[in-house]
Structure 1
C-alpha cells in the first residue's frame, strides 16, 4: 500500500483529504505544518505528499526546499494543494521541486487526475 503525507494546518482539509486518499487505498499520515512534516519524513519517507502552502511554523515552500535536499527527499511525489492560484506561485512551486499543483477546493476526481499524471496510480 502506498503512503501519503497530508500536510495542512486545517484539520478539515486533512480530514477530507484523508477520506479521499483512503478510498484510493493510500495509507495516510498527517502533519499540521512543514516542520512536523519534515520530522515525519525523517522517520519514514512517504510515496506522496499533499502539501498546503500557507501554514504556521514552516510554510509549504520552505518544507519542499528542505525536503528535496534531505536524504531520500527526491523520492516523494509532492502535490501542492493550496488557494495560491497565480502563475508566480505555481512557477515557484514547480521550480522548487513540486510535481503537481491542485487548487482548493478539491475533490476526489481532481486528486485522482493529478496522482495519475504523476504515476502514483
Structure 2
C-alpha cells in the first residue's frame, strides 16, 4: 500500500485531497503545518508528499529540503501545491527536491495526473 501525506494549513484542501486519493491502494495522512509533517515523516516516510506553497510556519522549499534529509534513501516524490502560477516558487521547490507542481483548486483528474508520472497513483 502506498502512503501519501497532504501538508496544507487548509482543512478543506486536506479533506478534498484525502477524499480523492484514499482507497484500497493508498493510505493518506494529513498535516496542517510543516513541523507536523516533519514529525510524521520521522516516524514513517510516505512515498508521496503534497506540500502547500504557503505554509504558516516554514517556507515550502525549506520543508522539502528537510524531508530529504530525514531519510535520504527513502526520498518521497514531492508535489508543490500553489494557488497561482509562480515560477520563482516552483523553481525553488524543484531545486529543493520537488518533482512537480499542481494548481489549486484542483480536480480529481488533475491531482491523480500529477502522480501518474511517478507510477504511484492509486
* TM-score, normalised via structure 1 length: 0.91
Check 1:106–1:39 CA distance in 2 against 1; reply closer, same or farther (3 A cut): same
Counterpart for residue 45 of structure 1: 45
Check 1:109–1:120 CA distance in 2 against 1; reply closer, same or farther (3 A cut): same
* RMSD of Structure 2 on Structure 1 (CA): 1.6
Gaps of 5+ in 1: none
Which stretches of structure 1, 4 residues or more, deviate above 4 A after TM superposition? none
- 3-state SS, counterpart of residue 22 of structure 2: helix
Asked whether the 8 Å contact 2:41–2:70 carries over to 1, the reply is: no
Q: Deviations over 1:10-41 (max 9, x none)?
A: 00000000000014831011100111100000
Hey, what's the Cα distance between the residues in 2 that align with 1:60 and 1:18? 20
- 3-state SS, counterpart of residue 109 of structure 2: helix
Hey, what's the Cα distance between the residues in 1 that align with 2:108 and 2:78? 17
* Greater RCO structure (CA 8 Å; 6+ sep): 2
Gaps of 5+ in 2: none
